[in-house]
Amino acid sequence: MNLLKGKLAVGATLMASIAVAVGCAAGTSVAATANVKQAHVASISLGQLNNSFKAMAELKSVAKKGTGSIAAILPDTTSSERWVEFDAPYLKEAMSKAGIPSSDIIVQNAHGSDSTFYADAQADIAKGAKVLLTTPEDSATGTKVERYAAQHGVKVIDYDRLTLGGSRPYYVSFNNVTVGQKIGQGYTSCVKNWGGHKLGKQDVLIMHGATTDNNATLFYQGYNSVIAPLVKSHKYKAILGISGSNLKSTAGTWDPPTQLTEFKAEWSHYRSTMTGAVIPNDETGSPIINFLFQQGVKPYTFPTTGQDATPPGLQAVVAGYQCGTVYKPVFLEAEASVALAVYLRAGEKPPASLVNNKVMDTTEHKNVPSALLNPEWVTQKNMKATVLADKFVPKNKICVGTFNGVKLASACSKEGI
């Protein structure tokens, strides 16, 4: 009996050992398989992105794992030409080259309507969208959309504008304080290049984008950091004055006619002393520049600024009515956003190589993982090496016709454009 018990114990021990060995082998095999599977998950970095969109093809294997649409909702057609000219086509191209079926690509524009923006988001989610790229007019609309999306298991990426108080996992934009700094630095450089001694002491008007847009606040922070110290040291004067360390600005808007009205109000009071204006983008600057021309202002005598490198803005730069414009290669922003969206659509965690920074949501007091891209100040001198070299804007949209009496072909030729 004792011998039998001994044999049974040995047998049990042997079976247990075999089971453990088999289990370990199986575990090793599963782990190895998992590692192999992980190794085949495509990974791209921000550094790979460029205007060829070739890097997006690396995501096709990830795109195959996901289902549902990726929907981008842009804000309007008036605050900047970029939303129609650049963002919409670039987003579509990025999605297509990443392997997203055309039936799953949605790019919309809310035309400045908060209700349309929210309705578009609801409709996209009802149709099976898995990821939204959103650029609302204001954070109130953005948070409303993000709450609704979260309730339906849909991910949101803040595209270009951070939604304060939102719940998105990622934010993609340009470094917007840097954008503002480049506007300020561009203005001061322009004053020197246009013959500062001839222009006199700068009595500059500071303008502001819509206060409901967090980006406008960041732009202002950037150019305030450059111009305010010059005002405090009495090298410049600010038309509206300064409070503490902050320049006073106009009320702020992204609506070009309203921005013109704000400018005219100050012009009527300070026409004899105003020497220039820091304007936050090309679109709102365009009617102001036309107004200045009507008032008899000549090229290279009244510095103005802008951003977005729109064709009218670039023409104003060539003609000597605008110092420069901040060039933001929107194709990079579109590619980075779509890349993150492709991973989220597939239920995969995006690689760290697509996220290079964090931005504080000042309402939630939380840092948001972000992809921040670098802007560049474009003047007559580097236009050929930037916007033209990148095929961002074709030469025939810059150097043809006239701008406020300036023959653009001759002006471009003079600058080697």
Tokens for 80, please give them: 């900047």
Q: What is residue 10's predicted lDDT score, i.e. its pLDDT?
A: 36
Reported as type and span, the H/E element at residue 122 is: helix 114-126
Q: What is residue 214's predicted lDDT score, i.e. its pLDDT?
A: 95
Q: Does 79 reside within a domain?
A: yes
Among 80, 131, 196, CA closest to 88: 80
CATH number, position 339: 3.40.50.2300
* Residues 181, 315 share a domain: yes
Q: Which residues of the chain have pLDDT under 70?
A: 1-41
The residue segments making up the domain with residue 138 are 46-175+329-374
Q: Give tens-digit pLDDT for 177-193.
A: 999 999 999 999 999 99
Q: What is residue 95's predicted lDDT score, i.e. its pLDDT?
A: 98
Q: Does 22 reside within a domain?
A: no
Q: Are 122 and 106 in contact (CB under 8 A)?
A: no
Q: Are 277 and 203 in contact (CB under 8 A)?
A: no
* Residues 237, 161 share a domain: no
Q: What is residue 3's predicted lDDT score, i.e. its pLDDT?
A: 36
Q: What is residue 388's predicted lDDT score, i.e. its pLDDT?
A: 97
Own/partner contacts of 408-413, CB < 8 Å, gap of 24 or more, are: 408/315, 408/318, 408/319, 411/318, 411/319, 411/320, 411/380, 412/318
* Residues 126, 53 share a domain: yes
Q: What is residue 196's predicted lDDT score, i.e. its pLDDT?
A: 78
Q: Give tens-digit pLDDT for 81-139.
A: 999 999 999 999 999 999 999 999 999 999 999 999 999 999 999 999 999 999 999 99
* Residues 160, 77 share a domain: yes
Q: Is 240 left (phi over 0), alpha (psi -120 to 50) or beta?
A: alpha
